[in-house]
Structure 1
C-alpha cells in the first residue's frame, strides 16, 4: 500500500481524487489530521452531490473527524455521503453501513436497522462479497437490538390490552351492581329494562370485538401460510432451474443452456402466481374494495377486471395505497412495473376521480 501511495504522490496529476486521498492519508498518518481535513474540505467544493466523488470525499472527512473524536462532524459527513450515494445512484457505498452503526451507538435502533437493510440490499445488487462480509460484522448486534425493541413494544401493547380488558370487566361489574341497586331501591320496571339493555349491548360489543379479533388472527395465520408456501414454491422452482442449468453446462450442451436462459416462462409463471396470491389475500381482507373504488370514480371511468383477473394493475396500485404504501418506487418494486407506469396510472386515476384532490385519501378509507 505504501509503495503504491508513493507512486500516486509522484504523479503530476495532483487534482485527481486518488492523489488528494493519498496526500490526505500521508498527512493523517504523520499526525497532521486537521491539515488533511482542510485539503479535503477545499477539494469537496469542486464536486456536486450528484457526483460519486462527493460521496467518497465526505466519507473520508467523516473518518478523519472520527479520528479527532468529533462525533458530530463525523455523523454530519456520513449523512452527506449517504445522501450523495443516493443522488449519484451508487450502490457500491460504505457510508450507509457506518451511519447505521453510528445511529445504533446513539440508541436509534429502528433507523439503524432500516439503514442496514438498505446497505445489504445495495451490496446484493452491486454483487460485492466484501460489503456483505463487512455488513455481517455489525448486523447481528443491530438485529438483536431491533428484535428486543420489537418485543418490548409488543409487551407494551399486550399490557395495554390487558388494562383495557380489566377496565371493560370493571365496567361490566359496575353496570351489574348499578342494575342491582336500581332494582332494589327504585323498583321501577323501566329503569331495570334500560340497564338490562345496556348490559346486553356491552356483551354484544365484546362479542363483536372478540369475533373481529378471532377473524383477524385467522386471516393473519392464513396469509402467513400462503406467502410462506409461495416463497417455498419459488425456491423449489429456482432450485430445479439451477439443477437443469448445471447439468446442461456440465454436459457442454451450450445451445440448450442458452435457450433455457432466454426462456422467461419461469418469471412469467412466478409473477402470475404472485399476483394471484396478492389479489386473493387483499380481496379477502377488503372484499368490497373494487366497489368502493368505483364509487370514487366517474360513471364512465369505472374499473371492471376482465377474464380471470381479480385485480387490474390500476387496482393493485390503489390496493397498495390502501395498505399505506404511497411511494412510487416501492409500488414499482412490489408490482414489478416501471416507475413511469406507476406514475402514469396514478395520474390517470386522479383525473378520472370525482374528487381529484382527495382521491387517494378517500381510497385509504375504503373498508
Structure 2
C-alpha cells in the first residue's frame, strides 16, 4: 500500500531527500527519439530553469541534479531555518509567485485594514502557505505540472506525462548524502552517454565545475574554496559548508575540494577505460569515513536499487521505517558497508 507523502518526508528527521520522476507513454523528457529523429534536448533546460526558479521561492535548496532522457534526479534540502525566518509578507509574496494568491492577502499587502473575520482567514491562509513553502511535495507538484503542460502542448497531445508520483529517499546521514549525490552526478557517465564530468550535460557537477572556470579559480584541488556556487538567473546550488554535521549547517557538510577529488576518482573507476585511475590512491573522504573502495564503487553504481525509501545507518533506517508504520526496510548489508563502525546495528567507536 502506498504511504502518504507526509510520512515519507520529515524535515525534523533529515532535511535531505533524493527524488526521482520518470516519463510515461514512451515520452521523451529530453534526448533524441531514434524512431522519429526528433530532438527533445531543449526540454533539459526547462527542468533546470524551473528547479532554480522554484528554489528561489520555496525554502528548498538544490544539492545535486541530473536530467536524463526520460527521467530526472534531484537531491533536495529543506531549509528549515529559512522557513522559520519568513515574515507574513514574505510568505504571501513568495506564494503569489506560484499562484494567484487570495483577495484577502492582496488587501493586506496593500495596507488596507482587515476586519476580524478577514484577519482569521488570512492567518489560516498564511499558515497553510508557510507549510507548503517548505514542502517537497508542493515543490515537485509545481515543477511537474508546468513541464507536463509544456511538453503536451509541444507534442499536441493530452493525458499524463509523468509515470506517477515522484519517488523519494530520505538521506539520514553524511554517508548516505555523499553516496546519493555521487550517484546522481555520475548518472550520465554510468549510463555511457558521457565520458567525463565536463561532458556530463545538465548535471550539477558540470555546473559547479563550469563555475570554477568562470570565476578563474585555480584548478588545484587543495586551492579550491568552499564558496564556489555558480551565478545563475534564479538561485545558486546549495553551498559546500565544510566538515560539519548534517543537522548543524545550512548547506552540504563537505568541502567541495574533497567532493571533487572523490567524484573524479569514482568516475574513473566506473569507467575502467578512463586514463588516470589508480586503485590504491584513495580519496580523502573515503579514508576519513573508513569506507572500503569496493563498497563505495558499488554504491556509486547501484545506490537507487540498494535501498527503498531511506538510506543511512541501519538502526536509524529501522527507526525511520517504524515511525512510518512499516515493518521492514531494505539495504542492511549496503548500509553496514557504508558505515563500517557498526556491526549488527551496534556502534564500535
Shorter-chain TM-score: what band? under 0.3
RCO (CA 8 Å, sep 6+): is it higher in 1 or 2? 2
Larger radius of gyration: 1
Larger relative helix fraction:
1
TM-score w.r.t. structure 1 length? Answer: 0.22
